[in-house]
Amino acid sequence: MTELRGVLVMNKPQGFTSFDVIGKLRGILKMKRLGHTGTLDPMAEGVLPVLVGTAARACDILPDETKTYRAGFQLGTVTDTQDSTGTVLETHAAAVTEEMLHAVLPQFTGEIDQIPPMYSAVQINGKRLYELARAGREIERPARRVHVSAVTLLSYDAETGTGSVEITCGKGTYVRTILHDIGQALGCGACMTSLIRTAACGFVLEQAYSFPQVQAAADENRLAELIVPTDSLFASLPALHLTPSQSGHYRNGVKLSLRALRGLTAGAERYRVYGSDGTFFGLAQPDPENQILRVFKNL
């Protein structure tokens, strides 16, 4: 049987870490070579693309790492984890109107500096921050530049100070920290009460599978039906189709002359490369100085 390869879009349930999802899938799929495209906290649920087989080599080269979340919040409550699973540190009256909320949201879009929470997997001097936090230590953390495309208020109840937002952001952004910082800007504090990732790497929640659905597909020997082709991860890159002769050379590691290739795109830094039979080989990048095409990653 041909080994599976591609993307299995999972709907991560609450209570699982991203690594837990990989561990459980290894048992269902009966294979070890799996990776994921971005960590979700245990309290979060939603889209977690899992890279299966040789696709796992793509973990660190994804061109689209934009993610969208739907997050609930509680104004007036500050916790050590910045979400409702943590210990409450402060409570304040939250006399905040919807207009006041709308007024501060633009501060948290675009390129912003964000201090990662102590309860996070960020490493400083070789130590995970959450390890220090669990030991009762808090250290100074340098701010990191992250990109937030949009923060949209979906609902808000001024009486209870509860509501929800939709946030679209780039890699390394902590949604709970955005909500914490919004609370600070409003002068009352805030914490995240729920989190659903609704989109990641071009995939949406409607495409995601639960563990029972994957298990049923495994039992019925139709797992391949659930796997999205690896090249879908790189749909934003131009495609390069090789001739039969070029395909053979490429497979054998021979660098191809740019002058002999057809369909090159001016200014392109990487290509999706396909063989003459339509097989996806992986990614390649042109070397204009030496006028050759170099293999970037076989997938």
Hey, which residues are catalytic here?
41
Output the CA–CA distances (angstroms, integers) from residue 298 to 229, 260, 275, in the order listed: 14, 21, 12
* β-pair partners for 83: 192
CB atoms within 10 A of CB 162: 18
Tokens representing 212 are 């029972």
> What is the C-alpha separation between 79 and 180, in angstroms, rounded?
9
Query: At what angle are helices 18-29 and 211-219 packed, to 10 degrees?
Result: 10
Strands 45-52 and 190-200: parallel
3-class secondary structure per residue, 179-229: HHHHHHHHCCCEEEEEEEEEEECCEEHHHCECHHHHHHHHHCCCHHHHCEC
